[in-house]
């Protein structure tokens, strides 16, 4: 089957799916649909077709695009149309996470798998409400228990919905901590004496330093040689 024949089937699958589909999923689904064909399509063919579809919808003509998000491929509305589609769901669509929830979510994203106690130790405050809200929004999941801690507390990790929410394909796409901190570094202000109109204070300090150096450089002679 030619790639040009595969493309419409891939588009139909991604459009109809309620979850992100990766290249392996698509290859298997199409081969199952056309099981009577002697020549099965390959993963390379699907990946080439996906690249072609991505280029097609990247043009300004379409309000949506094909992106890797949530662990696979999805059709997503382009950012420039955000305010338009927000009208469909009103305030619920526009509602953002609270700062407390974002703090907890960031800690879980970078430290997962992690217990609630460990999140609270980093934040310094109780995180019951924040974690409960993140679970309700399905941005995090309970991935198990920590068998090495007393009481075997629950362990939390981010979900596929988390990747969808932030438009990333894997947690490896998260910005590195060093990169985030580098953007926040503020260079120290260098203060020079000439920046001030009254230099009398700096002159007094300079004179005092000079006297100190002279005393340190003058040897203490015995009294009979003085």
Question: Which of 29-43, 133-147, 172-186 is least confident?
Answer: 172-186
- How far, CA to CA in Å, does 24 sit from each of 31, 47, 50, 143, 211? 11, 9, 12, 25, 80
* pLDDT value at residue 209: 60
- State pLDDT tens for residues 58-83: 998 999 999 988 788 999 888 888 88
**Does 198 have pLDDT greater than 70?**
no
Whole-structure pTM over 0.75, yes or no? Answer: no
Strand 154-158 relative to strand 140-145, pairing: antiparallel
- State pLDDT tens for residues 89-99: 665 555 677 88
- State pLDDT tens for residues 97-124: 788 999 999 999 999 899 999 999 999 9
Q: Which residue's entry shows tokens 């089957």?
A: 1
- State pLDDT tens for residues 3-53: 888 999 999 999 999 888 999 999 999 999 887 666 789 999 999 999 999
Question: Which of 130-134, 155-159, 206-210, 215-219 is least confident?
Answer: 215-219
Reported CATH class of domain 96-184: mainly alpha
Q: What are phi and psi of 177, to 5 degrees?
A: -55, -40
Q: Where are the domains of the chain?
A: 3-83, 96-184
- How far, CA to CA in Å, does 28 sit from each of 1, 136, 143, 207? 14, 33, 28, 84
Neighbours of 175 (CB within 10 A): 10
* pLDDT value at residue 226: 43
**CATH match for 3-83 among 3.40.47.10, 3.30.1490.70, 3.40.50.300, 1.10.10.10:** 1.10.10.10
- The tokens for 159 are 């979900």
* pLDDT value at residue 90: 60
């Amino acid at each position: 089957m030619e790639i040009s024949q595969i493309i419409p089937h891939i588009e139909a699958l991604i459009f109809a799916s309620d979850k992100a589909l990766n290249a392996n999923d698509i290859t298997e689904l199409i081969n199952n649909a056309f099981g009577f064909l002697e020549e099965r399509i390959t993963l390379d063919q699907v990946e080439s077709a996906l690249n072609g579809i991505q280029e097609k919808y990247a043009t300004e003509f379409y309000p949506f695009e094909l992106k890797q998000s949530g662990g696979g491929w999805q059709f997503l509305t382009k950012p420039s149309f955000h305010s338009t589609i927000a009208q469909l769901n009103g305030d619920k669509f526009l509602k953002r996470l609270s700062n407390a929830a974002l703090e907890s979510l960031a800690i879980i994203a970078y430290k997962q798998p992690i217990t609630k106690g460990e999140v609270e130790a980093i934040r310094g405050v109780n995180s019951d409400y924040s974690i409960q809200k993140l679970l309700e929004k399905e941005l995090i999941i309970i991935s198990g228990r920590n068998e090495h801690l007393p009481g075997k507390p629950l362990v939390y990790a981010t979900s596929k919905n988390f990747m969808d929410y932030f438009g990333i394909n894997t947690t490896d796409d998260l910005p590195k901590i060093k990169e985030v901190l580098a953007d926040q570094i503020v260079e120290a202000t260098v203060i020079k004496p000439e920046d001030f109109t009254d230099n009398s204070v700096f002159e007094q300090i300079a004179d005092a330093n000079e006297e100190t150096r002279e005393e340190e450089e003058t040897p203490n002679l015995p009294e009979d040689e003085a």
